[in-house]
Structure 1
Amino acid sequence: MTWSIYLSGEIHSDWRERIVAGAEAAGLDVEFSAPVTHHEASDDCGAAILGAEADKVWHDRKGAQLNAIRTRTLLEQADIVVVRFGDKYRQWNAAFDAGYAAALGTPIIVLHPPEHGHALKEVDAAALAVAETPEQVVACLAYVVAGTLPGYTDRARAAE
């Protein structure tokens, strides 16, 4: 079975690339999807495709609705949703994605620095794992997808 992993959240760091590279290095049978991560393209897609809007509210709404087609579809197809909350910006979209995934019953792995624990306590409570690094996310995926645990060999399993 190929697992579908949706990578939601912060777009200003390399966390997605680190997870993808780690999963590839581990030989995991996974496929990744994500929102459009080019900030300006994501903001302007509705007006660029469907026509300009004089009012910024309607400009943003067109973009949000067009992005929602992609986001909802990929969230609904995902076996696991990884949601990253970064340091620099408030990621309202990430919080919405986490809530949507929770409502769908899709397992969530949340990724954020420890200092965000209080602000994200409800999101963390809905998640099945809370990681601090992309490498921890890869280790979670390796365990869930392939049953491998770093440092836990077949010999150790046989001894139990």
Structure 2
Amino acid sequence: MELTVYLAGQIHDDWRKKLKDKASQKNLPITFVGPMENHDRSDNIGEEILGKQPNAIIKDDVASQFNNLRTRVLMQKADVVIALFGESYKQWNSALDAGNAISLNKPLILVRPEELHHPLKEISERAQVTVTDVDQALEALAYIFATE
């Protein structure tokens, strides 16, 4: 059995790479997918596909359409979603992705520091598992494959 795991959340650090590396070290049969990690490409994809847009608002709108398409397709194909809420960045995408996972009936592993317990309590109640760090999320995935 192999799992496809969608890694939702902020794209401003290397938490995805660290998680992928650790999963590889454990020889877990997991394929990871997620949002475009090249922030500039994510911001410019609308113009890359449709051409120059008349202003910044429309540029953002068309980029969002293509990023939402990517998210929807990859999340629908995922077996599990991990949504990371960190302390350093605004978490709008994480909240949206967690909500999408819930609405698609995808098992959700919510990663959030204890300081964010209160503002994320409703999402946490809908998640299958809530953990405080990425290593715990990886152990939750590893447990799926445990035989004893």
Residue in structure 1 matched with residue 77 of structure 2 by the alignment = 77
How far residue 77 of structure 1 moved from its aligned partner, in angstroms, is: 0.4
Kept after mapping to 2: 8 A contact 1:4/1:32: yes
- Identity between Structure 1 and Structure 2 (%): 38
Q: Which has the larger radius of gyration?
A: 1
Deviations 1:23-76 (A, max 9, x none): 111111111001101212111110122111222221101000011111100000
Preserved contact between residue 18 and residue 135 of structure 1 (Cα < 8 Å): no
Deviation (angstroms), 1:92: 1.0
Cα drift, residue 84 of structure 1: 0.7
Q: Which stretches of structure 1, 4 residues or more, deviate above 2 A after TM superposition?
A: none
Q: By how many angstroms is 1:13 displaced?
A: 2.0
Gaps of 5+ in 1: 149-153, 155-160
TM-score, normalised to structure 2's length?
0.94
Deviation at 1:106, TM superposition (A): 0.4
- For 1:116, the equivalent position in structure 2 comes to 116
Q: Which residue of 2 aligns with 1:24?
A: 24
TM-score normalized by the length of structure 1: 0.87
Q: Secondary structure at the match of 1:6?
A: strand
Q: Runs of 5+ in structure 2 lacking a partner?
A: none
Range that drifts further, 73-82 or 46-55: 46-55
For 1:94 and 1:123, locate their aligned partners in 2 and report how far apart those are by CA, in whole Å: 11
